[in-house]
A = this chain, B = another copy of it.
Amino acid sequence: MIIHSLLESSHLAGNLLGDPSERDLFVYVPPGYEGSDRRYPTAYLLHAYGQTAEQVVTPDTDGQRWAPPIEDVLDPVFGRMGVPPMIVVVPDGNSRYGCGQWVDSPVTGHFEQYVLHDVVAYVDATHRTVPNSRSRGVFGFSSGGFGAWNLASRNPEIFCAMAVLSSDSFLDMTHKFMPYKYLDSIWPEAPDGPIEGNFWSEIVYDYAACYSPNPERPPFYVDLPVAHPSGELIQEVWDRWLSFDPVVNVHDRLDNLRKLSGILLDAGSNDDYSLYWGHRLLSHHLNEAGIPHEHRENPGNHGGRANERHQMALQWLSEVLDSD
């Protein structure tokens, strides 16, 4: 069963995009919740770029491929698959540019603070969670996996485990072409904001709003990492992007990572953006630092097996989180 609320967040208020500070919040309670008074461990599902929490719960129906409602993905986890029951929380991280990437930005909003302080507090207050970090995990796919990494590796006192699924990573190899694709799409015009229906324009402004925001630079409030028309990579801006990259910031977060109960890295070995290389490299760095973790690959492309990986991540989390 899924319970819908609206949550006002002071950490999202005043974002420069003018996006709403009141957001949907969906809480899935497992079979048996209602008839019991016990407390449950909690898993936070962070959605991907281009989604809303509502679309996770009830996907759009206009695509060539079907995506089932999240309830049909979660019910079998705690039914057919026999995973001990958990509460699953689906917060909203959408921005008008696509996604807040679950990080703090004066432009898109402080999504990290919003999850840490608004969402977690609200859920613990309103549902029978086991309200401490040992029973609280975070997981997500693509930008959601990126968000899971960021939240847990920076806040082990809040989330003791993360399942990082096909996360944006190794940007210097996997994402550097994107600003160039964007410039190609509008060439020879100069950048002038995201254009509806132009994917590259939207994702580049989205990343820039999260990784290299610049409140002094209206109307889009971002620094772009590539100069127009020269094509020069602006290293200072690109380094700001890279500072969010798990394969880069892992080195600065080793102490935090050692505090976690579990780290799962999982990627499709046919990922369209080659994100499995980011995961391999991240696993390599964790190994170098002697930090235990699971590193899995599946035969999926980017997205094709996301729901199955959500199920698998919950199964893994149930083994890592304290149930009381």
Contacts and interface: CB of A to CB of B under 8 A. Distances in A.
Nearest to A270: B64
A231 B280 contact: yes
A62 interface: yes
Interface stretch (A67-75, A148-156, A200-208, A254-262): A67-75
A249 to B, nearest CB: 16
Given A274-B177, A280-B229, A305 B64 contact: yes
Given A64-B270, A172-B233, A176-B176, 20 more contacts: A63-B300, A64-B268, A64-B304, A65-B300, A65-B304, A65-B305, A66-B300, A66-B306, A68-B68, A68-B76, A68-B308, A72-B72, A72-B75, A75-B76, A172-B176, A173-B176, A180-B277, A184-B274, A229-B280, A231-B280
Contact of A301 (B65, B75, B79, B187): B65
Given A65-B304, A274-B177, A80 B71 contact: yes
Contacts of A62: 299
A232 interface: yes
Contact of A269 (B66, B80, B187, B280): B187
A307 interface: yes
A72 B281 CA distance: 35
A170 interface: yes
Interface of A: 61-66, 68-69, 71-72, 75-76, 79-80, 170, 172-173, 176-177, 180, 184, 187, 229-233, 268-270, 274, 277, 280-281, 284, 299-301, 304-308
Nearest to A177: B173
Contact of A76 (B72, B269, B307): B72
Sort A-B residue pairs by CB-CB distance and give the 6 closest, nearest first: A65-B304, A230-B284, A66-B308, A66-B305, A64-B301, A231-B280
6 contacts: A63-B299, A66-B305, A68-B76, A72-B75, A172-B233, A231-B277
B300 A231 contact: no
B230 A281 contact: yes
